[in-house]
Amino acid sequence: MARVRAERDDLRKLTSQLARVVQVLEVENHRVKAANATLEEQLAARAGIPDLASRRPPP
């Protein structure tokens, strides 16, 4: 029984670590997307091409 409890505790620890890794990756993904959007806007401004992706349809 002690072996099963130890295995369960190990699995809980691994699950917690995996959840933290996923959380960090989601935050980093958000940052990369934001940086990419900024770079695309800068590139469009240099090229003199309007950024249609950021436009919203009229209400």
pLDDT per position as a tens digit, 1-59: 999 999 999 999 999 999 999 999 999 999 999 999 999 989 888 887 666 666 666 66
State how far the Cα of 46 lies from the Cα of 20, in Å rounded to an integer: 39
Give a three-class secondary structure readout of 2-32. HHHHHHHHHHHHHHHHHHHHHHHHHHHHHHH
Q: CB-based contacts of 13: which residues, under 8 Å, 6+ apart? A: none
Q: 33 by DSSP, 3-state: which?
A: helix
Whether pTM > 0.75 for this model: the answer is no
Q: Would you state the pLDDT for residue 45?
A: 85
**CB-based contact 26:15 (threshold 8 Å):** no
Show me where the domains of the chain are located.
20-44
